[in-house]
């Protein structure tokens, strides 16, 4: 073991199993090797390594990386408790301990693991950001093409007012755009270098931290060595962001699950994102969306678990922080898969505009009826009451509101003229303020969403 000098007894095998992280952090082999090469260059720059030693270390590390890439790297379960010890052990085997043993000069695994995790997470988050952009693009493309389609809008899961299908799409496009904005901010905060902070107190060998940060593509430094090595809030911030994203994915999935039922019949999922029943041959289940809805709970659990782990830890590094590896790795995997699945669902589903139109009922224009009188200078609080009486009259006569005669409306209030139309298209077009359901308003939303994914 790298730390074994002061120990004389062997470790309990169960303790070795509890202590190891190689099963998880081997995912960072590229980042660990890149960090080690930057470290070697910085030590050469500081005069701690000769040119010949530097070249041997770089060549050896490149060979180690090749073995990982080709899946020929052999993990030694007796010594390789993490990716750092595994790579350094193999390096010394390749170039000799005399030179290989100099790589770790002035370096602690505390800073090393933090650097590996940050480098890996930044790479993954940038990829996730591109997939979120793809999702927004798919949403805007459908919204543009299907802007003519009207459907019921709901509050309390009750039919409320007519809206455009595109307006519903853009409601989630805006939610995902906000997620994308926040993700870009998260990436900036994750992309800070802890290298050169040592175990907790900094580096005594004149290491150039700015040089290493630039070599590795970090956007800056973590400026306090104690804070740098003991920080896993960057993982927690990613998970907190993931909770928001998965919450939006869950809500969109819930809507589409409802809309795909026979009772609604608004949408039909492609076979590629559906499953059947082992008993009932007629079933076509929206399992993709149900799984996405369920994954949101998994992410919440990971976020809460890590919060509890790091909430009251004493200052700087504690081994509890190793528990941040699994939720980070699994969280990235869950989010990456979920965003791509939802993108596939949205891009391939079929909509049924006729069923959407059939679901629109004249009573959904009750607000428009009130607005009609407002345009005749009647106070809205009065028109709201008048429109409610019209709804009640239609229920009493057991007819749709649009089947009431002009005399019926005049009987409720003499200010009703013959110029009111029960017209769903007109209703959505009247809501032309920014953010509304008119074509112009929806197109404005679409263009705004487009600008956010091309910036």
The pLDDT score that the predictor gives to residue 454 is 75
CATH class of 4-105: mainly alpha
**288 to 133, 140, 227, 269, 276: CA distances (angstroms):** 20, 21, 41, 9, 12
pLDDT band at 179 (very low <50, low <70, confident <90, very high): very high
For the chain, give the percent of residues with pLDDT over 70.
98
pLDDT band at 17 (very low <50, low <70, confident <90, very high): confident
157 within 8 A of 366, measured Cβ to Cβ: no
352 is catalytic: no
Helix (H) or strand (E) holding 312: none
Please identify which residue in the block is written with the tokens 């009251």: 312
Can you tell me the mean pLDDT for 420-447? 95
Displacement of CA 305 from its chain's centroid (Å): 18
pLDDT band at 19 (very low <50, low <70, confident <90, very high): confident
DSSP-derived 3-state class of residue 20 = coil
190 within 8 A of 122, measured Cβ to Cβ: yes
> What topology does CATH give the domain 362-436?
Ribonucleotide Reductase Protein R1; domain 1 (1.10.40)
Torsion sign (Cα): 112, 113, 117, 118: negative
Q: What are the backbone dihedrals phi and psi of residue 154, each rounded to the nearest 5 degrees, phi first?
A: -125, 145
Which residues, in sequence order, are CB contacts of 360 under 8 Å at separation 6+?
A: 150, 151, 152, 162, 424
Of the listed ranges 27-31, 183-187, 280-284, the one predicted with least confidence: 280-284
- The pair of structure tokens assigned to 215 is 């070599």
d(C-alpha 285, C-alpha 260), whole Å: 9
pLDDT band at 8 (very low <50, low <70, confident <90, very high): low
d(C-alpha 450, C-alpha 140), whole Å: 7
Across 248-380, the runs of DSSP E, i.e. the strands, are 267-268, 350-351
Can you tell me the mean pLDDT for 400-411? 89
**Residues 188-208 as b or e (16 or more Cβ within 10 Å = b):** eebbbbbbbbbebebbeeebb
Helix (H) or strand (E) holding 219: none
pTM: 0.93
d(C-alpha 136, C-alpha 156), whole Å: 26
7 pLDDT higher than 80? no
The Cβ of residue 174 has, within 10 Å, a number of other Cβ atoms equal to 18
Can you tell me the mean pLDDT for 409-413? 89
Render pLDDT for 59-80 as a digit per residue (tens, 0 to 9): 999 999 999 999 999 999 889 9
The pLDDT score that the predictor gives to residue 3 is 46
CATH class of 122-195+230-358: mainly alpha
DSSP for 413-451, please give it: -TT--S-----HHHHHHH--STTSSSHHHHHHHHHHHHH
Displacement of CA 139 from its chain's centroid (Å): 16
d(C-alpha 390, C-alpha 366), whole Å: 8
Q: Which one has a higher pLDDT value, 141 or 414?
A: 141
Name the residue among 189, 184, 304 with its Cα closest to residue 240: 304
DSSP-derived 3-state class of residue 374 = helix
Can you tell me the mean pLDDT for 1-15? 63
277 is catalytic: yes
Of the residues 23, 50, 277, 451, which is catalytic? 277
Can you tell me the mean pLDDT for 166-178? 98
DSSP assigned state of 106: T
The pLDDT score that the predictor gives to residue 118 is 98
**66 to 24, 121, 128, 193, 215: CA distances (angstroms):** 19, 22, 26, 25, 20
d(C-alpha 417, C-alpha 415), whole Å: 6
The pLDDT score that the predictor gives to residue 2 is 54
237 within 8 A of 306, measured Cβ to Cβ: no
pLDDT band at 117 (very low <50, low <70, confident <90, very high): very high
Can you tell me the mean pLDDT for 125-131? 98
Of the listed ranges 12-21, 82-91, 307-316, the one predicted with least confidence: 12-21
Q: Which one has a higher pLDDT value, 234 or 375?
A: 234
225 within 8 A of 200, measured Cβ to Cβ: yes
The pLDDT score that the predictor gives to residue 376 is 87
Can you tell me the mean pLDDT for 27-49? 98
Render pLDDT for 385-402 as a digit per residue (tens, 0 to 9): 999 999 999 999 999 998
Pairing outcome for strands 158-164 and 267-268: unpaired
Of the listed ranges 27-31, 164-168, 188-192, 276-280, the one predicted with least confidence: 276-280
111 within 8 A of 194, measured Cβ to Cβ: yes
d(C-alpha 88, C-alpha 317), whole Å: 21
Of the residues 156, 278, 312, 455, which is catalytic? 156
Which residues, in sequence order, are CB contacts of 353 under 8 Å at separation 6+?
A: 146, 148, 149, 150, 165
Looking at every residue in the chain, the average pLDDT score rounds to 94
Taking the domains of the chain in order of start, what are their residue ranges?
4-105, 122-195+230-358, 362-436
DSSP for 236-283, please give it: HHHHHHHHHHHHHHHHHHHHHHHHTSTTT-SEE--GGG-B--SS-TT-
């Amino acid at each position: 073991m790298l730390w074994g000098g002061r120990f004389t007894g062997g470790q309990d095998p169960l303790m070795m199993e509890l202590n190891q992280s190689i099963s998880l952090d081997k995912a960072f082999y590229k980042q660990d090797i890149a960090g080690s090469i930057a470290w070697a260059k910085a030590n050469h720059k500081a005069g701690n390594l000769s040119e010949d030693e530097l070249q041997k270390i770089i060549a050896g590390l490149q060979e180690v990386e090749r073995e990982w890439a080709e899946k020929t790297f052999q993990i030694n379960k007796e010594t390789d408790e993490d990716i750092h010890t595994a790579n350094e052990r193999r390096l010394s085997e390749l170039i000799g301990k005399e030179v290989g043993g100099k790589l770790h000069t002035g370096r602690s695994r505390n800073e090393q693991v933090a650097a590996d995790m940050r480098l890996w997470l930044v790479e993954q988050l940038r990829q996730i950001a591109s997939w979120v952009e793809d999702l927004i693009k798919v949403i805007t493309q459908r919204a543009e093409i299907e802007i003519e389609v009207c459907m019921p809008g709901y509050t309390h899961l009750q039919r409320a007012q007519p809206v455009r299908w595109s307006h519903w799409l853009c409601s989630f496009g805006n939610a995902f755009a906000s997620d994308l904005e926040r993700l870009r901010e998260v990436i900036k905060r994750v992309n800070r270098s802890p290298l050169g902070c040592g175990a907790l107190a900094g580096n005594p060998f004149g290491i150039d931290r700015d040089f290493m940060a630039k070599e590795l593509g970090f956007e800056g430094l973590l400026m306090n060595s104690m804070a740098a090595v003991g920080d896993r809030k960057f993982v927690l911030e990613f998970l907190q962001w993931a909770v928001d994203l998965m919450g939006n994915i869950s809500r969109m999935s819930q809507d589409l699950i409802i809309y795909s039922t026979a009772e609604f019949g608004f949408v039909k999922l492609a076979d590629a994102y559906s499953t059947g029943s082992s008993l009932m041959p007629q079933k076509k289940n929206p399992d993709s969306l149900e799984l996405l809805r369920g994954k949101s709970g998994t992410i919440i659990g990971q976020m809460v678990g890590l919060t509890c782990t790091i909430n009251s830890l004493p200052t700087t590094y504690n081994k509890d922080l190793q528990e941040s590896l699994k939720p980070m790795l699994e969280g990235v995997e869950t989010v990456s898969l979920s965003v791509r699945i939802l993108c596939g669902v949205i891009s391939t589903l079929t909509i049924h505009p006729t069923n959407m139109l059939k679901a629109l009922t004249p009573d959904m224009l009750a607000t428009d009826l009130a607005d009609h009188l407002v345009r005749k200078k009647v106070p809205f609080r009065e028109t709201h009451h008048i429109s409610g009486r019209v709804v009640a009259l239609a229920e009493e006569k057991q007819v749709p509101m649009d089947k009431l005669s002009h005399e019926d409306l005049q009987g409720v209030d003499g200010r009703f003229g013959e110029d009111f139309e029960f017209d769903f298209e007109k209703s959505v077009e009247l809501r032309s303020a920014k953010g509304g359901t008119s074509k112009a308003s929806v197109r404005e939303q679409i263009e705004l969403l487009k600008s956010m994914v091309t910036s």
